[in-house]
Structure 1
Amino acid sequence: METTNKKYIPLIGSLYTNFIFQGMAAIILSQNLNALKDSWQASVQQITLVISAIGLGRVIILYFAGYFSDRFGRKKTVQLGILSYLIFFIGIICSQNYLQGLFFALFAGFSNAFLDTSTYPTLMEAFPNERDNSSLSVLNKAFISLGQFLLPLITRFMIDHEWYFGLVFIGCAVGLFINLIYISSLSFPERHAFEAETPVIVEEAVEVPKSRRPLFKYEGIALLIFSFTSVSTFNIFILWVPSFAESLSLMNHSNSLVLVSAYSLGSFVSVFLTSYIVKKGVAPTLLLIWCSLISLFLLIGMTFFPSVPMFLIGSLGIGVFAAGGIWQLGLATLLELFSKGKGRVTSYYSIATSVSVMIIPYITGLLEKNSVSMIFGLNIFLTAIGVLAAVVIRYRYKKITSQLTEVDQAQALESVETKIV
């Protein structure tokens, strides 16, 4: 990292702190599902509807958040993101019913969008060198995983000691408020138009058949499907694996929460492992296939051959193979294939993710009426679709890049390596 930019290290640390709480916010409602049911006198389906509101909030505000960040600055956008999370955490425990909870859950989605559209540009503007900002961006996922690792342990401790469940919400709010005060005292880098140098896979001047050019209706759509299914795989898992273990009488409630910590540990380790493997020369599109396929086998094993060891291995494995970086590899591949209009294609990819976060909790909540096993059946189905999408992506990518020289291929691969976020 450039010495002149080391002054931004405290700022980056503060931004990472936000992502710890973002990781907690993503699972805090499902981790306290039983307590919220009792507090609001609500059904499981009503609680999952509240969880779905987080995705809805992100979809509603995503475009505006990007505009606000570019127009009014990263600092104000980060501050808005933190304030939105404060409203979420305090609002949930002050809610008297699930409808009020649904309203406040929207603010978690707002915050997610505000923080994403301000943090990533800030990293790029503070450290313009692409290798620096890419290595910093990958840590965002690591800190999200850290939050998701810690929260189940905290929740289990509180359940075992019969403490008020709202204390963890208050703790998150206090931590964020302190970080808000601290970050407000820091200076942000000057905004500028940042555009990483990304080689165009097929230049317009090159005369190649249309079938060998990137076509959004093929690999573009396949990558959007992959965005939806890959996020669905691990979101369904972290929302429902404790309930699944309980329904099979494998674990009691407090012990089942630890499965999410095992998943988060796998995700944390895999962020760095995935980056290392790609840098060693393994094709990212090949990793999409293998990671999705292994995730599929793990889900099948947990569903049809349930046991405590299988659930522990499956939780760790889903964290490693489904949540440790393949979504980011998919985005990097999309940006490589469609290097013009990166902002637009990135928004498509993010919207596919947001739709998953919005509808999947509600659909799984409806399935829970019959059996939690049906929820994991749905997860197997969606993950299988993700495998098929990954195969299409791999096939089309190889077909397109076959027109490049060996030098061009090496440059393109290096571009994908440095874009894992």
Structure 2
Amino acid sequence: MNTKKYIPTALALYFTYFIHGIGVSIIGQYKQNFADAWGADTLPDGTFDVSMVLAVIAALGLGRLISLPISGPFSDKFGRRASGLIGIGFYTLYFVGIVFAPNMYVAYAFALAGGIANSFLDTCVTPSILEIFGKNGTVANTFTKFSISIGQLLLPFMIGFVAASNMSFKVLFFVTGALLLIDGLLIAFMPFPPMNANVKPSKDGVVKKEKMKFSSTAWAVISIGFTCTATFQLWLNCNQELGKLYGLADPTKIQSFYAFGTMCAILLTAVLINKKVLKATQVLWIYPAISATMLLVIYLVQSPAIVLIGGFVLGYAAAGGVLQLAVATANEMFPTNKGKITSIVMIASSIANYVILNIAGMITKAGGVEGPKYVLLFNVGITVVGVLLALYVNKQFSKKESVTSGTNLEKQAV
């Protein structure tokens, strides 16, 4: 297959994730504006109660979780392009609709649309990237995370430009939606590789779709989708309070270190895997092991500097493509059901978002001032489970490689 032919398609698909990086973060940057627009109560300090805005943000995850069981099979049956265009359509609806919503209930519906968009993009972009880049698909898939990180890194600058130009915050939503719509028009006419093009056909020359059989290894990989998501989500939702507890003057700096660490991880991991210094399955346990160690160090060494260092290390090791590598590994196990298995791993990831953060909320409430430190210990436990799962996956893959190598040697001898 001529990969070069599909490079423009891959770039257009990466761009959807750049917009996604903005989409999942932008409401949180304008909580007060939306609270005002939706009639929130005014607090004693003159600000608005943002609880209804947080509920709308949570709807993004709910919409994703509801639609993932549908988007995967849809992608496998009707094609990657169709799945991607549906995702782009729903995302454009989200960007435009959320700013016109007169109350939180209408906004909630548009946020659900944003979550649905995310699930259809997941089951379009990941399978397409794996099919376009073939043997290099595992590394190429990590750049979806890189695209998201660039969007989140540039968003504050975009917000600053809009504010400095005395424009309404709504302008950013309209521009982002318009850019996504243009990208969708390109994707509608760009070439996509044949589905399952990188799967070896049977003797009659036909690629037969295999029935999905879930081994213990497959369930372990799916579970890693849960544990690795829990690791970075728990950190993202407790680092600001932890920074304050440890005496950090400006806890928002942690996020900058975190984003920089994530981007460094994607670039360095791509080189390490391409140079065959590391295998994708090895990254699945090495990076979480680094995360668990760093979390424990942060718990024991309570200083402002260690939180900033931890922000970078956890951005690198926890959010630096582990989820994307888990998805790619799962796709390798189910080459003719890429859409479905992508959905399943992402469902595990979405469940982690909901369940783990609720547990973290209870721990924080019960722990009082020391709550963020207890969340750290909880995070260590979850991450260690992820390391054990990944070690098991590595062991099973090594056995499979040994059997394959032995079979090849026998054939050569014959």
The two structures have a TM-score, normalised by structure 2, of 0.76
Find the counterpart in structure 1 of residue 382 from structure 2: 385
- Distance of 2:163 and 2:364 partners within structure 1: 23
Q: Say yes or no: does 1:398 pair with 2:401.
A: no
Moved more, 289-298 or 77-86: 289-298
Paired-residue identity, %: 29
Structure 1's 45 and 387: CA in aligned 2 closer, same or farther, altered over 3 A?
farther
Q: Give the CA deviation at 1:223.
A: 3.3
Find the counterpart in structure 1 of residue 123 from structure 2: 117
Counterparts in 2 of 1:10-21, with a 5 A limit? 10-21=8-19
Q: Give the CA deviation at 1:366.
A: 6.4
Unaligned runs of 5+ in 1: 199-214, 412-421
Find the counterpart in structure 2 of residue 189 from structure 1: 192
Counterparts in 2 of 1:255-334, with a 5 A limit? 256-278=251-273, 279-282=275-278, 284-302=280-298, 305=301, 307-334=303-330
Secondary structure class of the residue paired with 1:405: helix
Secondary structure class of the residue paired with 2:24: helix
AA of the residue aligned to 2:175 = G
Match of 1:104 among 93, 96, 110: 110
Unaligned runs of 5+ in 2: 41-47, 202-212, 409-414
Find the counterpart in structure 1 of residue 209 from structure 2: none
Counterparts in 2 of 1:316-395, with a 5 A limit? 316-334=312-330, 344-360=340-356, 374=371, 377-378=374-375, 380-395=377-392
Structure 1's 382 and 368: CA in aligned 2 closer, same or farther, altered over 3 A?
closer
Find the counterpart in structure 2 of residue 415 from structure 1: none
- Distance of 1:300 and 1:273 partners within structure 2: 24
Q: Give the CA deviation at 1:143.
A: 0.9
- Distance of 2:126 and 2:343 partners within structure 1: 14
AA of the residue aligned to 1:355 = I
- Distance of 2:160 and 2:300 partners within structure 1: 27
Find the counterpart in structure 1 of residue 232 from structure 2: 234
Secondary structure class of the residue paired with 2:278: coil
Q: Say yes or no: does 1:64 pair with 2:39.
A: no
- Distance of 2:164 and 2:303 partners within structure 1: 23
AA of the residue aligned to 2:96 = I
Structure 1's 160 and 246: CA in aligned 2 closer, same or farther, altered over 3 A?
farther
AA of the residue aligned to 2:129 = L
AA of the residue aligned to 2:90 = S
Q: Say yes or no: does 1:136 pair with 2:132.
A: no
Structure 1's 72 and 372: CA in aligned 2 closer, same or farther, altered over 3 A?
farther
Moved more, 303-312 or 15-24: 303-312
AA of the residue aligned to 1:183 = I
- Distance of 1:248 and 1:380 partners within structure 2: 16
Q: Give the CA deviation at 1:286.
A: 4.5
Q: Give the CA deviation at 1:321.
A: 0.4
- Equivalent residues of 2:363, 2:374 under 8 A apart: no
Structure 1's 50 and 237: CA in aligned 2 closer, same or farther, altered over 3 A?
farther
AA of the residue aligned to 1:168 = L
Higher relative contact order (CA 8 A, sep 6+): 1
Find the counterpart in structure 1 of residue 59 from structure 2: 53
- Equivalent residues of 1:49, 1:361 under 8 A apart: no
Q: Give the CA deviation at 1:21.
A: 0.8
- Equivalent residues of 1:57, 1:110 under 8 A apart: yes
Moved more, 27-36 or 115-124: 27-36
- Equivalent residues of 1:22, 1:144 under 8 A apart: yes
AA of the residue aligned to 1:78 = G
Find the counterpart in structure 1 of residue 183 from structure 2: 179
- Distance of 1:226 and 1:407 partners within structure 2: 25
Structure 1's 403 and 247: CA in aligned 2 closer, same or farther, altered over 3 A?
closer
Secondary structure class of the residue paired with 2:22: helix
Counterparts in 2 of 1:28-43, with a 5 A limit? 28-40=26-38, 41=40, 43=49
- Distance of 1:70 and 1:351 partners within structure 2: 17
Secondary structure class of the residue paired with 1:280: coil
- Equivalent residues of 1:48, 1:365 under 8 A apart: no
Moved more, 235-244 or 55-64: 235-244
The two structures have a TM-score, normalised by structure 1, of 0.75
- Equivalent residues of 1:226, 1:330 under 8 A apart: yes
